Amino acid sequence: MTPETVPFGIYIHWPFCLSKCPYCDFNSHIASHVDHHRWRAALRAELAAGAARHPDRVVGSVFFGGGTPSLMDPETAGALIADIRSHWRMADDVEITLEANPGTVEIDRFSAFAANGINRVSLGIQALNDRDLEFLGRVHNATEARRALDVATSVFDRFSFDLIYARPDHDPQAWRRELREGLEIARGHISLYQLTIEPGTRFYTLHQRGELKVPGEDLAAELYDITQEETERAGYRCYEVSNHARPGQESRHNLVYWRYGDYLGIGPGAHGREAVVGEDGRITPTAVRRHRAPDIWLDRVEKLGHGTQEEVVLDNDERLIEMVMMGLRLNEPIPLARFERIGGAGPRDLLDSERLETLMASGDLTCDERGLQATQQGRNRLNAVLGYLFEPAV
């Protein structure tokens, strides 16, 4: 398969937030002032540098992530989208998503973002009651969350939003009621994440001190089961471990990641997976990472035209591990053709056959003419499945 036929996505990172959520380990920063003209110019410059490396691609999706990209000027998003259209051909059904928080200022700008080319938003709602929103460190309340969803419904044909479950003392029946309310509001897509305690976050410090307790395995499993029951009842398929959609409403951009397509990442801390074509025509699979610190990234772009910190050429074994780790998250097989593209053979030849057979016998994986797939049981314990399959590689 040539790189021109692999799905191509573009990720644009806006690192600034109004406040830092205590559970968040993303590359986000609080800034009292942002020079929007300077940042717009830098993002456009790095985008142009990426376009020079990847001509003749068809862009299927663009994702503005963060941070809180709904804090950028809508005109910045519009300028970047216009640049993408000038550098590449865009798919007729291109998906252009903006992550947004339900603060009042951002809600009032939804129409401006739509006018500048955004056709899908992903809202960080996280909870539909004030107590848990305060616990999660959100700056919006439940009323603002519902208003944001109403506005998204009126402005965009497609939108998604996130909810977090397995909060401390999370009552199963309360979660069922909250989830049902969310599903009544949703229009085709919803992301439902179990609260995890990530190193480097405020919650991690509190958890280490014993000041924050999260649900144990039994309660977490019950909350997960409720999540699956209610989404299935509402017609939402769990197409990825934490993402649920009605047919045709899946996140096209995130599917680029999970199906191991190529994508260009720009902005501080952005990662990319790029099939770089050399002067001799050879394709070099490359992992690209931008400088994480906004000030360093901005300075490098203004001096060099890009903020790249590291480029790593991936060998076939590294690509195989990444491809399987991402692909098993989906409720679909990793097709045999994808194994052939990366390793020149099928999964039974490329993976440890004894471990693969063990995981198939335990009911965690299936492997047939359609490809390799994790069962529902396997996705429920995916970290353990991957750890066993690739031990000691991961």
Range of the structural domain that residue 128 is part of: 8-256
Rounded to whole angstroms, how far apart are CA atoms 257 and 265? 12
Residue 302 lies inside a defined structural domain of this protein: no
| Count of the separate structural domains present in the chain | 2
The radius of gyration of the chain's CA atoms, rounded to the nearest angstrom, is 21
d(CA 3, CA 342): 12
Which CATH number is 365's domain given? 1.10.10.920
Q: How far is residue 255's CA from residue 9's CA, in Å, rounded to a whole number?
A: 10
Residue ending a domain, choose from 238, 256, 274: 256
Both structure tokens of 139: 């700056």
Q: Considering the domain boundaries, does residue 114 fall inside one?
A: yes
pLDDT the model gives residue 6: 56
- Return the exposure string of 338-362: e unless at least 16 CB atoms fall within 10 Å of the residue's CB, then b: bbeebbeebbeebbeeeebeebbee
The pLDDT, as a whole number, for residue 2 is 42
Residue 310 lies in a domain: no
pLDDT (0 to 100) of residue 104:
60
Confidence at residue 275, expressed as pLDDT on a 0 to 100 scale = 84
Asked whether 175 and 144 are in contact (CB, 8 A), the reply is no
Domain with 158 in it: what CATH number?
Answer: 3.20.20
Cα distance between residue 103 and residue 19, in whole Å: 12
- The answer on 162 and 20 residing in a single domain is yes
- Whole-number pLDDT of residue 321: 96
Do 237 and 325 share a domain, yes or no?
A: no
The pLDDT value given to residue 242: 96
Torsion angles phi and psi, residue 209, rounded to 5:
-80, -10
Domain assignment of residue 291, yes or no: no
pLDDT at 304 (0 to 100):
96
Residue 204: predicted pLDDT? 85
Q: Name the nearest CA neighbour of 38 among 12, 72, 6.
A: 72
Question: Residues of 103-135 as b/e, b for ≥16 C-beta within 10 angstroms?
Answer: beebbebbeebbebbbbbbbbbbbbbeeebbeb
Q: In this structure, what is the dihedral angle of CA atoms 153, 156, 157, 161, given to the nearest 10 degrees?
A: -60
Antiparallel, parallel or unpaired: β 283-290 and 308-313: antiparallel
Q: What is the dihedral of CA 126, 129, 131, 136, to 10 degrees?
A: 10
Closest to 148 measured CA to CA, from 167, 165, 126, 132: 126
224 and 343 both lie in a single domain: no
Q: What is the pLDDT of residue 279?
A: 67
Can you give the pLDDT of all 394 residues of the chain as single tens digits? 344 355 699 999 999 988 878 778 777 788 778 999 999 999 999 999 999 999 889 999 999 999 899 999 999 999 999 999 999 999 999 999 999 988 766 777 899 999 999 999 999 999 999 999 999 888 899 999 999 999 999 999 999 999 999 999 899 999 999 999 999 999 999 999 999 988 988 888 888 998 889 899 899 999 999 999 999 999 999 999 999 999 999 999 999 999 999 999 999 999 999 987 766 667 788 999 999 999 999 999 999 999 999 999 999 999 999 999 999 999 999 999 999 988 899 999 999 999 999 999 999 999 999 999 999 999 999 999 999 999 875 5
